[in-house]
Amino acid sequence: MGEFVVRGGRRIDGRITVHGAKNAALPILAASLLASSPVTLYDIPRLRDVDVMIEVLLALGARVERSGTTVWIDPRDIHTYAVPAELMQKMRASIFVLGPLLARLGRASAIQPGGCAIGDRPIDLHLYALTQLGAQLTEEAGSTELVAERLRGAQVHLTYPSVGATENLMMAAALAEGETRIRNAAMEPEIVDLAQFLERMGAVVRGAGTSDIRIVGQPTLTGTDYQIIPDRIEAATYALAVAATGGRLVLENCIADHLPGLWGRLREVGVDVRDGEGDVVEIVAPDRYPVRPISVHTGPYPGFATDMQAQFMAFLLKVPGVHLISERVFENRLGHARELRRLGAQIIADQRVALIYGGKPLRGAAVTAGDLRAGAALVIAGLMAEGETVISGREVIERGYEQLDQNLSQLGADVVAR
């Protein structure tokens, strides 16, 4: 397994362009299966998870060509409804093809997906949502199969605003007969991006970005060209890296409104966050922070994103005071606290709540990335620490960050991938 080697103590200065959003690209790649003609997608990030999703599309019979950040998909020859088990086990987002396959072929089959070990993430809500459109569900020996001669629109109330379940339901409903109404829908920007893509293919989607989404199914959807939104979590990670180390960073291709929970927190402790013209955000960090206890509770959008929690915990190690983080989305997403303690961090944590004693010095050590965002947090902590930090599990981090070492190095950090 690869490593990142981080030598701390350097300020960050410069500008960087945020890549396309992984969490928008994956469902939109899956949604391309709904089209009756080729789809061209722009600004698709070059990440391991994207590679796996492309493998899934190829295994199902699609033709896929890639040139840089542009991906062309021809889904007309889709011929199988079963996602290969080895691909499902590589990445949880493989589950996104269930809705499109069911709508397109009348059948979909998969096993429980893999992914980061951040807590129990059953697919029950996905399956419930699809059965509300008329699919029949059978489960046997760890395999799930959905069958529907014809999907029909329905009113579906989600017991939790799950992003994945909302997206799977939207995709299936786009080819269903009649209108589907999703109550308690997820409201994340990635939901809006998927809705706009479906509309470009000819679907009728209203209310995306609110908790009440309506989709009027169409007999067919046509291929289109579409550009993915910027990755708000990547932008947040770089913003927190500069906030943790001092310096100045200009983020290009960054939609400030997609991070409502972050900018206010940074300004609260003295970070200067400025919105520039277009999709540009400038961050100027002080050398020292005042004693300022911070309390953060993760939650569905527009709350503080769980995908920013680990990186924000690392940043709080720089801010003097006793801070509280409450993880309210996943029940096992504080494992990075143990690894941060190897660097000298003073953190008391259980599965859902952590107390962070900020303002204490950190020292380089050998640590392991247990999941994608935990790995990013360890990189940020390594940038603050004295000496050398060796982070095992580089491949885990590269599931969500393209050329992380090169990007940080061009900003003045000392980060090497090996």
CA distance 407 to 415: 9
Q: What are 233's two structure tokens?
A: 């979590």
Number of H helices and number of E strands within the chain?
Answer: 14, 23
Q: Which residues pair with 389 in a beta bridge?
A: 6
23 is in an annotated binding site: yes
Above 60 in pLDDT, residue 117?
A: no
pLDDT digit string, tens, across residues 252-278: 999 999 998 899 999 999 999 999 888
Marked catalytic residue, from 73, 78, 116, 250: 116
pLDDT digit string, tens, across residues 146-169: 999 899 999 999 999 999 999 999
Above 50 in pLDDT, residue 119?
A: no
121 is in an annotated binding site: yes
73 is in an annotated binding site: no
307 is in an annotated binding site: yes
Q: How much is the pLDDT for 322? A: 98
Above 70 in pLDDT, residue 66?
A: yes
122 is in an annotated binding site: yes
DSSP 43-59: S----HHHHHHHHHHHH
Above 70 in pLDDT, residue 131?
A: yes
Q: How much is the pLDDT for 116? A: 54
How would residue 393 be classed by pLDDT, with cut points 50, 70 and 90?
very high
Q: How much is the pLDDT for 122? A: 63
- Radius of gyration from C-alpha coordinates of the chain: 21
Above 60 in pLDDT, residue 87?
A: yes
CA distance 90 to 116: 9
Query: What is the pTM for the complete model shown?
Result: 0.95
How would residue 123 be classed by pLDDT, with cut points 50, 70 and 90?
confident
Above 50 in pLDDT, residue 55?
A: yes
CA distance 301 to 36: 33
Please state, rounded to an integer, the average pLDDT across all residues of the chain.
Answer: 94
Which domains, from first to last, does the chain contain? 3-19+230-417 (3.65.10.10), 22-227 (3.65.10.10)
Q: What are 388's two structure tokens?
A: 């050398």
- Give the contacts of 102 (CB within 8 A, at least 6 positions apart): 108, 130, 135, 146, 148, 151, 172
Above 50 in pLDDT, residue 26?
A: yes
Taking residues 115-121, report their average pLDDT.
49
How would residue 414 be classed by pLDDT, with cut points 50, 70 and 90?
very high
Is position 254 annotated as part of the catalytic site? no
pLDDT digit string, tens, across residues 341-361: 999 999 999 989 999 999 999
- CA dist 188 → 17, 48, 172, 298 (Å): 22, 23, 19, 14
